[in-house]
Amino acid sequence: MEKLLPADLKAIALAAWLFYSERGFACDLIHEEDATHVELRICYEDTRELPRCPILEQSPFSCEITRVGYSDMVCRYYIPGLFE
């Protein structure tokens, strides 16, 4: 696969945010100062199934899902290389 440019990664991050927000999920794009990555954070109840976003199902993106509280889940996608 061809190396993704920062503009490509930003477009993917925005498209993924739209993918989840249009389906009614609470989601945020988070960039912490001095970080080279952006985190797409999706919060949802464990009674809902989180659909997989096809554009995030490739390298270099990683995903981590954790339970928060009794019935809430948080999915974090890490999108590296946006601010190198």
Decide if 70 is inside a domain.
yes
Task: Report the percent of the chain where pLDDT is more than 90.
Answer: 58
CB-CB contact of 56 with 31 (8 Å): no
Lowest mean pLDDT among 18-27, 40-49, 56-65, 71-80: 56-65
Residue 19: inside a domain: no
Total domains present in the chain? 1
Phi, psi of 21, deg, nearest 5 = -65, -35
CA dist 24 and 9 (Å) reads: 23
Instruction: Assess if residue 4 is contained within a domain.
Output: no
Tell me which H or E stretch contains 12. Answer: helix 6-21
Does 14 fall in a domain? Answer: no
Asked if the model's pLDDT at residue 82 lies above 70, the reply is no
Which of these, 36, 18, 37, lies nearest to 28 by C-alpha position? 18
pLDDT tens string 47-75: 999 999 999 987 788 999 999 988 899 99
Domain of residue 79, residue span: 26-84
Tokens at 24, concatenated: 């009614």
Amino acid 28: pLDDT: 96
- The total number of residues shown for the chain amounts to 84
Residue 5 has pLDDT above 80, yes or no: yes
Residue 78: predicted pLDDT: 93
